[in-house]
Chain A
Amino acid sequence: MIEAGWPTAALCAALVFAPLMTGLVLYLAPRPGLLEKVPVGLAAILLAGVVLLSGEYLDSGPVFLAMGGHPGPLGIELQLDALALAMLWLVAAVALAVTVYTAAALPARDGAAGTGFRLLWMPLWSALNALFLAADLFNLYVLLELVSLTAISLVTLHGGSRAIGAASRYFLFALGGSTFYLLGVAVLYADTGLLTLRLLQASPSGSPAVPLALGCMTLGVAMKAALFPVHGWLPHAHARAPSAASAVLSGLVVTGGAYLIIRLWLGPFQALAGGPAAQVMGAAGAAGMVYGSLQALRQSRLKKLIAYSTVAQLGYLLLALPLASALALQGATLHAVSHGLAKAAFFLAAGNLIRLSGNDRLETLGNGDRRLAGPLAVMAVAGASLAGLPPTGGFMAKWQLASAALASGQWWWAAAVVGGGLLAAAYVARVLQYGLMAPRENGHRQHDGGALPRAMSWPPLALALAAAALGLAALALAPWLPGAVPAGSGE
């Protein structure tokens, strides 16, 4: 891995600091006009920034940046590899959609929720970009904390005791997660004296403390990422948050945790991937796929159903650990991106449903209201990707994961991938069938939410189409997909 040139360094710095700084300025000058328009402009600029960064990456390959000219182990480093770049793309795309959406859905004039969302979302946005670029275990800890604290606050935006309850639960899990993660980092540091990922990778240690440290860190991150079986907070928190916040939480925040697990297991701790511990992680992933899907099939509220779907879909990412190949990593990357896009689309569409009908009960979808056709179409397209129907992005991810499983002789993971897709199809179909039902005679009173503003109907559709189109673009994107196991991310 080489050191980055100045354009890459400048772009990375912008991605990390621009949202935070803009958020500070908006905090000091909270004018509704500025609060609504500035984030949209920034999101467009940062999306362009990621495009430029991808161009740079094509020439340079994986790079690290020594901030202020001080390289590790003492200085703070950032690193950019294919996996990180894919995540930055995901953040940029979801950020643009969500900021445009909130301009109409949560107007800044609406007081606490409108202002609060922006002031929390801007630092969260920075923290996510930084999390994907961070290159040492302690900075990762700091960023995980920043992500958790802003994310927890987003859950409380609409107030009410239930939202506070859900947020408290989230907070307890996050706190426990931080403790375990930090414990793991401390054990590792005591043993090796290193925190920088690429240096850890370069000098693997055979000490028995290493598996212990990895176990602690994995458990900690899993609690924050709501990986089965430590997922208990997610369904409540993601269902209670405002829909735009749910989109960010389900599409980006938990993906960040799962990303970190993949980064660690397939990076500095590769030696353990492919072993029995990795099989256990894979089994937890598969169990999460089954459990989350079955729970999703039992919900009567749309947002709860989508939240359980997140628990299920995160399970796929863990399958990359026992497979531990370049193909599996590609599949996991594609899955993280396509799921993030599709899930954000799903939640924004749910927000539209609530706006139009006043609630998110599944039966409401069957009240014969024509205006619901738009959100339903979004859910159909995003759902096709979640269920892995060809040729969507979700399909391509599952294809690669299943192919990697067969290539390594572990056919049972291929069966899990195919079966998980079937379960996802079941809960997506369950949502859509309400939309196809004939309205009941004595049915629901139509709630008059007026027509949907255009800024609320296009972002979810664009995200859903992007998730679906990802499958058609896998070949074109090949230069940017992880071709080799990232080595923390060395050679």
Chain B
Amino acid sequence: MNAYAAMPLWILLTSLLASVVIFALGEARRRARITVNLTAASGKLVLVAVMLFGVGEGHDFGFRAGLAPGLELALHADALTMLLMTLSAVLWLLTTVYAIGYLEDSPHRCRFFGFFSLCVAATSGASAAANLFTFLVFFELLTVSTWPLVVHRGTPEVMAAGRKYLVYLLTGGALLLAGTIGVHAIAGPGDFVPGGYLSGDEAPRAVLVALFLLMFLGIGVKTAMFPLHAWLPAAMVAPAPVSALLHAVAVVKVGAFGIARLVYDVFGFELTARLHMHHVVAGVAAFTILYGSARALTADHLKQRLAWSTVSQVSYIALGIGIGGIPATVGGLVHLVHQGLMKITLFFCAGNLSETHGIHRVSEMDGAGRTMPWTMAAFTTAAFGLIGVPPLAGFVTKWYLGLGGVAGGHHWVVGVLVASTLLNAAYFLPILRRAWFAAPPSDRAAQAEAAPALLVPALLTAALSLGAGFLAGMPYSPLQWVLFITERFYG
């Protein structure tokens, strides 16, 4: 095995080693920790860029190590892998910068950044997993490495939210484990294969349905799908950079990514449809889209409103997967990137508001646009993007999803999209109105922007989300890459 082909392993080890080194450095050595953090994040970005180009050129990447008879830790890199991995590598670098600025002088930074790197390692591992077992390994690692981040502040309310987080996610992991053992029992070990590695003849229909539902529920917990979503709004107690990562790349995205793997590479869309499971996926997703948006309307806490918005937005991905067919799949998968860029921007901005001016609630946001024009400009860009104003990224998603719905004869999808867009506007526009058009309270300083380490990442992600929409036609844009992936599924 040559070193180039084992690239997924190196990428995984970059973050894993960074984590070990950061733990070993201890609390006091701040400068060394920042160096390790930034070196690892940029080094990883370079490696991922090399691999992205390699996959685009059709090179094969892979690494396998047997752990027990029939159990292999197997990594690979296909086009779908690169979608999540590139997103996580880019956003890890920006979030690291943001987190260093955000946690300036707060305690337990060693613990924070150690688990932070571990969490990113888990995300890379899950995206590069070449079989269900490997996916499970990183799925669980992601749960346990994010828990200390969520409860970072350690107050009693935070610990209670953390318990909820663990109960939901570990139960999800157990369901996925049960399903994985079941798949191994009926079909033996097997890699993810486009079109699915189950043929449908291995077991009676009822068993296949049960296994699909077990794994769908298990993974669905991570995507915060209704009725398994309660942990996500609770997890808003986490520090802003953690929320940003949780909502944009790590937990919910690994969940959405897992559903794509489950439907396309384990069961295959054809078998999923034969079992009628695609209706379940699309139905639950459609309901979650509307439910999350409706709950966001009444949430006054800014981060909570954003969390409900995530519940809703992530289900676009599952909706696209459930509808099936090329346009809908494109719409779903591309939202993996689009939602990530826009949502991370919003959380960065929410963090800036609370750090700089102590603004936590929507009702406190009067005049925020005048005091923090840059932050609110980034916020506005991302909010318009999520609403789906053409030609921003969210519009691209919704366009393809609607196209797919109509093409597949599911006209109700258009209704869901329209309703959701109206709801998105209804919970974002009041924020923007307060921020730009209401007068700031008299006791607030006239104009004070967030520190550069907090502002620059937000502006960059906002710019990236603009680019994803405006430049959707360029090579290596998220949309073009997703078209490349979809060709593979529907050959």
Contacts and interface: CB of A to CB of B under 8 A. Distances in A.
A414 interface: yes
Contact of A474 (B67, B152, B181): B67
B308 to A, nearest CB: 26
A399 B71 CA distance: 10
A396 B170 contact: no
A436 B151 contact: yes
B136 A390 contact: yes
Return the 8 tightest CB-CB contacts between A and B, nearest first.
A438-B154, A474-B68, A406-B185, A390-B137, A475-B66, A437-B154, A422-B174, A402-B181
A471 interface: yes
A472 B72 CA distance: 10
B178 interface: yes
A429 B163 CA distance: 9
A429 B162 CA distance: 10
A60 interface: no
B144 interface: yes
Contacts of A407: 185
Interface in A461-489: 471-472, 474-475, 478
B27 interface: yes
A390 B141 CA distance: 8
24 contacts: A373-B111, A390-B137, A390-B141, A391-B67, A391-B73, A399-B68, A402-B178, A418-B174, A419-B174, A422-B171, A422-B174, A426-B167, A433-B151, A433-B159, A433-B162, A436-B151, A436-B152, A436-B154, A437-B154, A438-B154, A471-B67, A471-B68, A474-B67, A475-B69
Given A370-B27, A384-B144, A403-B181, A425 B170 contact: yes
Most buried by B among A377, A384, A390, A400: A390
Contacts of A49: none
Interface string A382-399: 001000011100001001
A415 interface: yes
A400 B71 CA distance: 10
Contact of A472 (B27, B67, B174): B67
Nearest to B181: A402
A421 B136 CA distance: 15
B6 to A, nearest CB: 17
Interface in A109-147: none
A396 B66 CA distance: 12
A425 B174 CA distance: 10
**A interface, how many residues as a size bin?**
20 to 34
B174 to A, nearest CB: 5
A396 B154 contact: no
B325 interface: no
B170 A422 contact: yes
Interface in A190-233: none
Contacts of A403: 181, 184-185
Secondary structure of the B contact surface, majority rule: helix
Contact of A396 (B67, B153, B167): B67
Contacts of B136: 390
A456 to B, nearest CB: 19
B166 A418 contact: no
B54 interface: no
Contacts of A474: 67-68, 71
Interface string A432-476: 010011100000000000000000000000000000000110110
Interface residues of B, number: 37
Contact of A433 (B68, B163, B171, B184): B163
Contacts of B137: 390-391
Contacts of B67: 391, 396, 471-472, 474-475
Nearest to B143: A389
Contacts of A421: 174, 177
B181 A438 contact: no
A399 B262 CA distance: 20
Interface string B154-185: 11100100110011001100100110011011
Interface in A401-430: 402-403, 406-407, 414-415, 418-419, 421-422, 425-426, 429
Contacts of B155: 438
B202 to A, nearest CB: 13
B218 to A, nearest CB: 11
Contacts of B156: 437
A419 B171 CA distance: 9
Contacts of B152: 436
Given A422-B174, A474-B67, A475-B71, 5 more contacts: A390-B133, A396-B68, A421-B177, A436-B152, A475-B69
B140 interface: yes
B159 A400 contact: no
Given A370-B27, A400-B68, A390 B140 contact: yes
A391 B151 CA distance: 24
Contact of B182 (A390, A406, A433): A406
Contacts of B178: 402, 414-415, 418
A271 to B, nearest CB: 26
Contacts of A384: 144
Contacts of B43: none
Interface in A321-377: 366, 370, 373, 377
Most buried by A among B152, B155, B170: B170
Nearest to A380: B144
B467 interface: no
A90 B148 CA distance: 32
Contacts of B73: 391
Contacts of B133: 390
Nearest to A366: B154
Contacts of B153: 438
Contacts of B177: 418, 421
Contact of B159 (A370, A390, A425, A436): A436
Interface in B16-73: 23, 27, 66-69, 71, 73
B176 to A, nearest CB: 10
B181 A436 contact: no
A390 B173 CA distance: 10
Nearest to B180: A399
Contacts of A475: 66-69, 71
Nearest to A439: B154
Interface in B300-343: none
Nearest to B27: A370
B131 to A, nearest CB: 12
A471 B140 CA distance: 15
Nearest to B182: A406
Contacts of A426: 167, 170
A389 B137 CA distance: 8
Most buried by B among A377, A414, A471, A475: A475
B302 to A, nearest CB: 23
Contacts of B144: 384, 389
A398 to B, nearest CB: 8
A250 B23 CA distance: 30
Interface in B97-127: 111
A324 B23 CA distance: 44
A384 B143 CA distance: 12
A396 B69 CA distance: 11
B46 to A, nearest CB: 28
A373 B107 CA distance: 14
A349 B167 CA distance: 25
A474 B141 CA distance: 20
Interface in B371-408: none
